[in-house]
Structure 1
Amino acid sequence: MYKLAIFIPESHLEQVKSAMFQAGAGRIGNYDQCCWQSKGQGQFRALSGSNPYIGSQGEVEYVDEYKVELVCDDALLVGVIEAMKSSHPYEEPAYDVIQLVDL
């Protein structure tokens, strides 16, 4: 089992979550579409060669985003990440993949 943490702009929150849920993420026992989300502010600066969805190259940009955390079964991990990337508006989405230990 893995936990994924993804940073999503507010404008695409439900779209990205929906794609990941459809790919099988967020299932815990007899429940589905389980996640934790918290609102915050991200920042980045697009470098030369980038194609930013928001902002301009060379300028620091601040964006209201949600950090969404959800679990994913080992066998579904690659498909869930592909679904996230294809539905996310950013050229380079920021995300973490954390392997969980069952104790």
Structure 2
Amino acid sequence: MPRFKLVFFAPVKTTSTILNHIFAKHPNHVGKIGEYDQCAFMTQGTGQFRPTANAKPAIGSKEQLEYVEEHRVEVLVYDEGDNEQIKAAVAELKKVHPYEEVAYDVYRLKDF
């Protein structure tokens, strides 16, 4: 079964809410490793951004540089081979994430 790694960045105070939502929506495809579920790896750091004049920032003010304590979150997503599960996981991430523009990456993983 194809696997992907979904990596996203979120304010520390919202990480649990985001993960709980994604795990609840996709219990058989997101965050599973063998006989374990709801698996994720988080590292904490500082994100920076500056909303432009046309932005609708959830945090900070337009045209002001902002620094936010964020988590980099990594979760595995198992797919059926049609990419529908990874697409659905990203769609759920975007629904629940507080930012107007969600920073995320998707990596296809390969077994050796």
TM-score, with normalisation over the residues of structure 2?
A: 0.87
Q: 1:68 aligns to what?
A: 73
Q: 1:78 aligns with which of 87, 94, 98?
A: 87
Structure 1: runs of 5+ lacking an equivalent: none
Q: CA deviation at 1:93?
A: 1.0
Give runs of ≥4 in structure 1 deviating > 4 Å. none
Cα distance between partner residues in 2 of 1:101 and 1:5: 16
Deviation at 1:74, TM superposition (A): 2.2
CA RMSD after TM alignment: 1.0
Contact 1:23 1:79 in 2 (8 A): no
Q: Specify the code of the residue in structure 2 equivalent to 1:40.
A: G
What residue is the counterpart of 1:57 in the other structure?
Answer: 62
* Identity of matched residues, %: 39
Aligned residues: 103
- 1:56-101 CA deviation, whole Å, 9 max, x = no partner? 1111100000011010012411111111111110000101101101
Match 1:39 to one of 35, 41, 44:
44
**TM-score, with normalisation over the residues of structure 1?**
0.94
In structure 2, what is the equivalent of residue 98 of structure 1? 107
Q: CA deviation at 1:23?
A: 2.8
Unaligned runs of 5+ in 2: none
